[in-house]
């Protein structure tokens, strides 16, 4: 049995005071083949602890159907960290934020129109408890009290930024204890009065999250918790990016200076992030301050390891700071997977989305344009089709409300786009005698992961109308695009390119290595490599390349499929040995 706990103002491990130097690595943002590499680099940097969130939506993608294999093999990740001699902090709360889709909560929660999130609402708590019934027994053998590496677990995440329901927080605490969780429990909040008041739980350690002014933050924490160890649970040493905004960077010397001040104050620190990884697939989240802002595919975060696992300047400067407080051995890093240039790949085959509906989806007849969640869909796209009678003079098409980005077609002709974040977007329709077919393809760009607008249903959420007249009688195709194996590709055809189109090309590989797909000339869409969804691309930037980890490739022929929404200038991509952000 290992022991870890609190004695006065210190953390104590097996009877000895310990200062936690921790870094966040999310197992669900890194391919399992690279978990050990990233953990070895964390240890080589001088860290003694790794921290990870647990994303509910990857473990229970459909109600009652659980996954804990491959990229969702949380137990293996924790065991691997323990085998390397690392402590592990686990944050399994139902909500994680993390710039992850819906803050980690599963989309199917929103199929219930009366659902209340993150509060003492029995239907929500029943779902959480059912999830905990499966998740927590897997973690109990890994607790330090049972000889494992887990030293602490989080009850909820930055709850004071969202609500003040202490009854809800106590329910989560008791749910964990009743299922055998007997290690140190904690909460984490920003160092503001209302955040600490809303997020703290009696007899539970409070930690704080911030990126700068550490002594000021710790003084605020002491006003509420003066007799416990100081810990920054999220030291934001980098930041995430939204589409169409500049790439965020932070000076390495400044990061080192703030970190050293925390260690000198005797505080424990968890770097958020140590290694960010990638929002593969459709799992990026979004923020909503003054308007909706989706997060990019890369979660590079400008931290100690870049998206592909390479040490950055921050890695070495942070290690230098640690060496002032801890005797570190000579730096030895694992051999890095080589980055490779594979050159140009041409896309010689294609098939249109509208021509492929019969193999991608079964039509659903609905009076109203229902949301994704109401139809049992989680991610991807959804197509709404209706016949509009005519003749009608030109009238504005109003989507009330669209979440998130809609492409409009009338009798197969593309008319434009309506984006949730651009209220000035307008599409006007003139309907000829005999009527016309209206098609609206809506992309779910990622559910809001932080703040008061978490209840973010996708698709057309209320209705579609011409002027003041609502349109009824819709045919709907759900398009999660999680299996493209039935697509019937043919030779390139300019007629197909008037609609959203799938393009296929073949990449020949002699020796697999990490690489980056450069998407110059393409507009917006999704990339698949050997059936694996790498994520979204968009010409608005800042991300210009998508990371392709070597384990996704094989010797010989590899298939690359692009689902392009708007068309391209040149139907090829380049696979290069470097990322381009900004």
Angle, helix 35-44 to helix 74-83, in steps of 10 degrees? 40
Determine the 3-state secondary structure of 192 from DSSP. Answer: coil
Greatest Cα pair distance, the chain, in angstroms, is: 84
Cis ω before 9 (30° cut-off from 0): no
Q: Is 373 part of the annotated catalytic residue set? A: no
Among 541, 392, 545, 397, which Cα is nearest to 468's?
Answer: 397
CB distance 271 to 209 below 8 Å: no
Task: Give CA angle at 361 (358, 364), nearest 5°.
Answer: 105
**Is 157:97 a contact under the CB 8 Å cutoff?**
yes
**Structure tokens that stand for 39 in this block:** 């953990």
Contact indicator for 246, 582 with CB cutoff of 8 Å? yes
Q: Which of 60, 101, 158, 373 is catalytic?
A: 158
Do 304 and 276 meet the contact criterion of CB atoms below 8 Å apart?
no
Is 557 an active-site residue?
no
Each residue of 451-473: b (16+ CB within 10 Å) or e? eeebebbbbbbeebbbeeeebee
Query: Where do we find the tokens 């944050």?
Result: 91
Under 8 Å between Cβ of 530 and 553: yes
Spatial contact of 151 and 78, defined as CB atoms under 8 Å apart: no
Of 526, 519, 517, whose CA–CA distance to 568 is shortest? 519
At 4, is the secondary structure helix, strand, or coil?
A: strand
Tokens of 315: 């890695």
Helix residue spans in 271-333 (DSSP H): 313-323
- What SS3 class is residue 485? coil
Q: Show the DSSP H helices in 344-498 as ranges.
A: 357-360
Catalytic residue among 234, 307, 373, 443: 234
Active site residues: 158, 234
């Amino acid at each position: 049995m290992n022991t870890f706990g609190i004695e006065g103002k210190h953390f104590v491990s097996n009877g000895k005071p310990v200062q936690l130097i921790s870094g966040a690595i999310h197992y669900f943002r890194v391919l399992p083949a690279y978990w050990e590499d990233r953990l070895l680099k964390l240890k080589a940097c001088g860290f003694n602890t790794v921290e990870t969130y647990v994303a509910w939506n990857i473990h229970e993608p459909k109600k009652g159907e659980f996954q804990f294999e491959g990229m969702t093999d949380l137990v293996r990740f924790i065991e691997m960290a323990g085998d390397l001699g690392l402590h592990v902090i686990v944050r399994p709360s139902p909500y994680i934020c993390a710039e992850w889709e819906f803050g980690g909560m599963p989309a199917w929660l929103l199929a219930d129109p009366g659902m209340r999130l993150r509060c003492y609402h029995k239907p929500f708590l029943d779902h959480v408890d059912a999830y905990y019934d499966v998740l927590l027994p897997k973690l109990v053998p890994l607790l330090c009290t049972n000889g494992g590496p887990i030293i602490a677990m989080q009850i909820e995440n930055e709850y004071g930024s969202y609500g003040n329901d202490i009854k809800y927080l106590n329910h989560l605490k008791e749910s964990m204890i009743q299922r055998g969780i007997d290690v140190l429990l904690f909460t984490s909040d920003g160092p503001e009065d209302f955040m600490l008041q809303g997020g703290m739980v009696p007899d539970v350690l409070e930690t704080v999250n911030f990126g700068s002014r550490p002594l000021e933050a710790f003084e605020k924490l002491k006003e509420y918790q003066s007799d416990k160890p100081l810990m920054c649970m999220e030291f934001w040493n980098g930041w995430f990016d939204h589409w169409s905004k500049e790439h965020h960077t932070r000076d390495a010397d400044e990061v080192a200076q703030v970190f050293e001040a925390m260690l000198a104050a005797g505080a424990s620190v968890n770097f958020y992030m140590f290694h960010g990884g990638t929002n593969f697939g459709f799992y990026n989240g979004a923020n909503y301050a003054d308007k909706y802002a989706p997060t990019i595919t890369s979660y590079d975060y400008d931290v100690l390891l870049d998206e592909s696992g390479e040490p950055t300047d921050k890695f070495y400067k942070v290690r230098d700071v640690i060496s002032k407080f801890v005797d570190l051995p000579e730096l030895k890093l694992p051999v890095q997977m080589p980055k490779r240039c594979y050159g140009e790949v041409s896309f010689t085959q294609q098939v249109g989305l509208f021509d492929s509906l019969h193999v991608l989806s079964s039509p659903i007849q609905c009076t109203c344009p229902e949301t994704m969640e109401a139809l049992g869909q989680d991610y991807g796209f959804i197509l709404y089709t209706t016949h509009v009678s005519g003749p009608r003079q030109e009238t504005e098409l109003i989507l009330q409300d669209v979440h998130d980005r809609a492409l409009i077609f009338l009798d197969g002709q593309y008319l434009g786009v309506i984006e949730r974040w651009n209220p000035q977007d307008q599409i006007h329709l003139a309907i000829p005698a005999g009527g016309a077919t209206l098609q609206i393809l809506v992309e779910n760009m990622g559910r809001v992961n932080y703040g008061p607008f978490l209840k973010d249903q996708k698709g057309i959420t209320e209705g579609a109308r011409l002027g003041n007249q609502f349109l009824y009688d819709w045919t709907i195709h759900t398009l999660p695009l999680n299996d493209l194996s039935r697509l019937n590709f043919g030779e390139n055809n300019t007629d197909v390119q008037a609609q959203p189109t799938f393009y296929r090309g073949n990449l020949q590989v002699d020796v697999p290595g990490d690489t980056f797909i450069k998407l110059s000339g393409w507009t917006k869409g999704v990339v698949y490599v050997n059936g694996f969804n790498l994520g979204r691309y968009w010409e608005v930037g800042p991300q210009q390349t998508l990371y392709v980890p070597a384990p996704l490739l094989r010797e010989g022929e590899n298939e690359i499929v692009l689902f392009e929404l708007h068309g391209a200038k040149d139907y090829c991509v380049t696979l290069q040995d470097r990322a381009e952000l900004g």
